[in-house]
Amino acid sequence: MEIPGTKIAVIGRPNAGKSTFINQFTKQDRLIVSDIPGTTIDSIHVPFTFNDEEFVFIDTAGIRKRYRQSHAVEYFSYVRAMHAVAESEIVLMLIDANDGVVDQDLRILNLIREHGKPVVIAFNKVDELTPEDIENLLTSKKYHNSALGDLVITQISALQKRGFKKLFDTLADVHATATTKFSTGMLNKLLEKFALATNIPSVGGRPVKMRYIHFGGIYPTKLIIHSNVSSKIPANYRRYLINSFREALNLKSVELNLIFKKGENPYEGKKNELTSRQIKKKKRLVKHVKKSK
């Protein structure tokens, strides 16, 4: 039986504090907490209510560096974690602030984003850091990695229950944006604005003609542009449009997929139906032309 509520998958490396976080947030010791990494093996669903709304945390096993070559249990943990991401509506990725951003965090992030789900990053255990440590974290090269550049990043202490309200407000805002269905009219106004702001590229000697755009779905948010070409769009122009739409629509932490589709305008070639008044006017014009001859 499916548990009602917005599903939030909690993902991260082993011992990032996922189970501690869920226990504190729900004010229940629902999950085993241990200093030994990998205590959680399977994914566990924890329902709770916040501000009269229902939610479900999905606690998962930490994903180790060499999960593909490791013991079968660790590979199973990875499979379950990815299943939790697929099942969720938003992903909360916890990173141990003591370690900062490491290569494995970036690998996990890439795995998550392949599913198209919105992602919020939370640096956990900030209570163990000095102000100087936090400054070093925020100025580190990996913190400013391009993979994290379009994500919302927060700081929490699961042990001391710090930063929970701000984090949950962020999760709610990102989830609302990720499920927004943007209107065709607004998207076309933005497309026209972006097209006028830069030079239109050519593909095979033909300038790209973007006829119209419409919303195509969520997880990830899809925007479909109907144009005279569907492939070989220059990468820099595609990036320009993605960044422009992401900023205009406030899609921080939300995956955006921009699809070019070759096809004719749906209104092109359709015969307009004339009103009775237009038909009478047309007859008068035809009669007038015949008389003048």
- Segments making up each domain of the chain, as ranges: 6-178, 184-262
CB count within 10 Å of CB 164 equals 18
Q: Which of 224, 288, 234 is nearest to 262 (CA)?
A: 224
pLDDT at residue 64, rounded to an integer: 64
CA dist 224 and 206 (Å) reads 20
Cα 207 to chain centroid distance, Å, stands at 31
Cα 57 to chain centroid distance, Å, stands at 18
What Å distances lie between residue 179 and 34, 175, 185, CA to CA? 36, 6, 18
CA dist 259 and 8 (Å) reads 27
**Was domain 184-262 assigned CATH 3.30.300.20?**
yes
Which CATH code for domain 6-178?
A: 3.40.50.300
**Axis crossing angle, helix 235-248 with helix 184-196, rounded to the nearest 10:** 130
Two tokens, residue 155? 């700081």
Cα 81 to chain centroid distance, Å, stands at 18
Q: Which of 4, 21, 220 is nearest to 112 (CA)?
A: 220
> What tens-digit pLDDT sequence spans the chain (293 residues)?
567 788 999 998 888 888 888 887 666 544 334 343 444 444 578 887 777 778 888 877 667 665 554 555 567 677 788 888 999 999 999 999 999 999 888 988 998 999 999 999 999 999 999 999 999 999 998 898 888 989 999 999 999 989 988 998 999 999 999 999 999 999 999 999 999 999 989 988 888 999 999 999 999 999 999 999 888 899 999 999 999 999 999 999 999 999 999 865 554 555 556 677 777 777 777 676 666 65
Q: Which residues contact 4 (CB under 8 A, 6 or more apart)?
A: 47, 54, 56
CA dist 232 and 288 (Å) reads 53
221-227/256-262 β-pairing: parallel
Burial of 235 (0-12, 13-18, 19+ CB in 10 A): exposed
CB count within 10 Å of CB 99 equals 15
Residue 69 phi, psi dihedral angles, 5° rounding: -100, -5
